[in-house]
Chains A and B, each alone.
Chain A
Amino acid sequence: MTQKYLLSIYQPDGEVPPPEVLDPIMANLAALNEEMQAKGAWVFAVGLHPPSTATVLRAKDDDVLMTDGPFTEGKEHIGGFTVIQAADLDEALEWGRKLATVLAPLSIEVRPIAY
């Protein structure tokens, strides 16, 4: 029986690094995704467009209000996420550690998925 975990990638707002910095990181990330797939841990992974591209919706009475996003303004935003399955938290943290190493100095939040 396995448990699914969401690994959220938190990155600072602002400019993304230039290709000469970003490209090797993305190559390492692709390699990690392959390793996850090979070990049967990988479920789903995405990278997101910047928060400025987001739109927020909220139903109120009979109407749905639409506003320019993101939902919360902060210094960091979720730049992407990976869903994995693991036997327990230690195993999930092991993948989280690898992801954090590849994406250093970004923070990775590991959170169990309820359903």
Chain B
Amino acid sequence: MIEQIFRAEYGRAVSVLTRVLGDLDLAEEAVQDAFATAAEQWPVKGVPPAPAGWIITTARNRAIDRLRRETKGREKHAQAALLQHEPEEEVGDVPDDRLRLIFTCCHPSLALQAQVALTLKLLGGLTTAEIARAFLVPEPTMAQRIVRAKGKIRAARIPYRVPRDADLPERLKAVLAVIYLIFNEGYLDKAELTGEAIRLGRVLAQLMPDEPEVWGLLALMLLVASRQEARVVDGSLVLLEDQDRSRWDAELIAEGQDIVRRCLRWNRPGPYQIQAAINAVHSDPPTDWHQVLALYDQLLAIMPSPVVALHRAVALAEVEGPAAALQEVDALDLDRYHLFHAVRADLLKRLGEDPSAALKAALERAEHPAERDLISRRLGLATADQQDRADDRDQPDHDPQPGGHAT
């Protein structure tokens, strides 16, 4: 119960207390104090009717007590005095507070890694240890990253507010990028990160309901997450066309597709909305590849990047055939990217050529075990395939099995 309320309300409480106290560390301490008190009292006295409000009020009172006790510095004394005269209604749920906190955590003057860590810590309520584990970083490194970022917010006076309209589009892009990065980090095997990213996406959509790209990102995450159960089976990545559709989450798909339809009516397209639309098409098998290709054309026009071009080539292969797609892929400067080689391998195989070298290149560059496993299996098949062909040449009398060599 407390755990649930903690995850749901931590960010809200910290954001309100940050406004009241003017300091992130004081706010976090106060909120943690309040939850510690809740853990003692609620099992005995019962959960209060408005737990979130109780946490915020308790946190505020704790902060005042703490500031009164620590009367060493005159400044802190003044702060405590100031708090006393703060009108009561200030401690309500001002809807903008979490939004302010998001924009402060995702301020572009902070390193991207720091933005991600702060967002997970302050809004998500994850512990430093949890964040360190999720990003495969030693805990002291992560702790230092967070302390440093908070220090910069304080010393450089990164403002605690929603940016003015002129700066909002750029600043919002940064926020969406942080949430999507958290989602992608969890994409293959860390459901707690994808879950947290979706939760943050929902909060943002609730706070900025008129921003189509906010909804686009939420829909994209819902639709990609809907296939999570089918995507990785026994530690290996399963390609979309091979996935067991009964393991797709119908509820997430319905919600995601519903948002995509709403975005289409809005008619203010952006990269996240288009990627969501592509995933909505995939969620409705058999995939309409003409539609996917048209959407990738649109995406490439507003986000010209070789990675987008690579994905577009996969759709092109389905519409115009592997030869046309290979020509496009070979023109891309993506040698360092494992998917580039994996896509090339697939196209080569479909053209009847040996994909082994491309698969080896993909394997050398892939990092995640689930991806490596898929590539290894394809490489195994390709090698067996080549072996069969060699055997065919060695034994001309051998009658190959109908249906090809792959077993």
**Residues 121-159 of B contacting A (Cβ, < 8 Å):** 155-159
Tally of contacts, chain A with chain B, CB under 8 A: 26
A5 cross-chain contacts in B, Cβ below 8 A? 156
In the complex formed, the residue of A with least CB distance to B164 is A90
Distance in Å: Cβ of A112 to nearest Cβ of chain B: 5
Chain A residues, Cβ within 8 Å of B157: 3, 87-89, 112
Chain A: CB-nearest residue to B153: A89
B159 with A90: CB separation less than 8 A: yes
A71-115 near B? 1/0 per residue, CB < 8 Å: 000000000000000011110110000000000000000111010
In the bound assembly, the distance between CA atoms of A87 and B159 in angstroms comes to: 9
- Cross-chain contact A114 with B155 (CB below 8 angstroms): yes
In terms of DSSP, what is the predominant structure of the interface of chain A? Answer: mixed
Partner of A112, one of B107, B156, B159, B167: B156
DSSP majority for the B interface?
loop
In the assembled complex, the Cα of A90 lies from the Cα of B109 at a distance in Å of 9
Closest to A93 in B: B109
B163 within 8 Å of A by Cβ? yes
- Tell me the smallest distance from the CB of A84 to a CB of chain B, in Å: 13
Give every chain B residue within 8 A of A114 (Cβ-Cβ).
155
Min Cβ gap B326→A in Å is: 40
Residue of A90, A92, A111, A114 contacting most chain B CB atoms (<10 Å): A90
Report the interface size class on chain B.
Answer: under 10
Contact, CB under 8 Å: B155 / A88:
no
Contacts of B107 in A (CB 8 A): 89
Q: Per-position contact with A for B172-203: 1 when CB-CB < 8 Å, else 0?
A: 00000000000000000000000000000000
Q: Is the CB of A89 within 8 A of B163?
A: no
Q: Which residue of A lies closest to B154 (CB)?
A: A112
Interface residues of B in 67-118 (CB under 8 A from A): 107, 109
Given the complex of chains A and B, what is the CA–CA distance between A89 and B153 in angstroms?
9
Q: Which of B155, B157, B159 has the most A CB atoms < 10 Å from its CB? A: B157
For B156, what are the chain A residues with a Cβ–Cβ distance below 8 Å?
3, 5, 89, 92, 110-112
| Closest chain B residue to A91, Cβ basis | B159
* Nearest residue, chain A, Cβ from B157: A88
Partner among A3, A87, A89 whose Cβ is within 8 Å of the Cβ of B109 = A89
When chains A and B are docked, how far (Å) is the Cα of A69 from the Cα of B158? 35
Q: Complex Cα distance A114/B163, Å?
A: 25
Give chain B interface residues in 157-172, CB to chain A under 8 Å: 157-159, 163, 167
Q: What's the nearest-Cβ distance from chain A to residue B30, in Å? A: 23
Contacts of A92 in B (CB 8 A): 156
Q: Which residues of A contact B159 (CB under 8 A)?
A: 87-90
Q: Given A89-B109, A93-B109, is A112 in contact with B155 using a C-beta cutoff of 8 Å?
A: yes
Residues 23 to 75 of chain A near chain B (Cβ within 8 Å): none
* Assembled-state Cα–Cα distance A97/B199 (Å): 35
Q: With the chains together, A110 CA to B109 CA distance in Å?
A: 10
Q: Please, how many angstroms separate the alpha-carbon atoms of A112 and B163 in the complex? A: 20
Q: Which residues of A contact B158 (CB under 8 A)?
A: 88-90
CA distance A92 to B107 in the complex (A): 14
CA distance A89 to B167 in the complex (A): 14
Minimum CB–CB distance for B149 against chain A, Å: 13
- Candidate in A88, A89, A92, A112 with the most chain B CB atoms within 10 angstroms: A89
Residue in B closest to A86 when the chains form the complex, CB atoms: B157
Q: Which residues of B contact A89 (CB under 8 A)?
A: 107, 109, 156-159
Give the complex CA separation of A93 and B157 in angstroms. Answer: 11
CB-CB under 8 A from A112, the residues of chain B are 155-157
Q: How far is the CA of A112 from the CA of B109 in the complex (A)?
A: 13
* Measured CA separation A89–B156 after assembly (Å): 6
The 3 closest A-B pairs by CB, nearest first: A88-B159, A88-B157, A112-B156
Binding site for B on A (CB under 8 A): 3, 5, 87-90, 92-93, 110-112, 114
Q: What are 15 A-B pairs with beta-carbon distances under 8 A?
A: A3-B156, A3-B157, A5-B156, A87-B157, A87-B159, A88-B158, A89-B109, A89-B156, A90-B159, A90-B163, A90-B167, A93-B109, A111-B156, A112-B157, A114-B155
- Excluding A87-B159, A88-B159, A89-B156, 11 further A-B contacts by CB distance (< 8 Å) are A3-B157, A5-B156, A87-B157, A89-B107, A89-B109, A89-B157, A90-B159, A93-B109, A112-B155, A112-B157, A114-B155
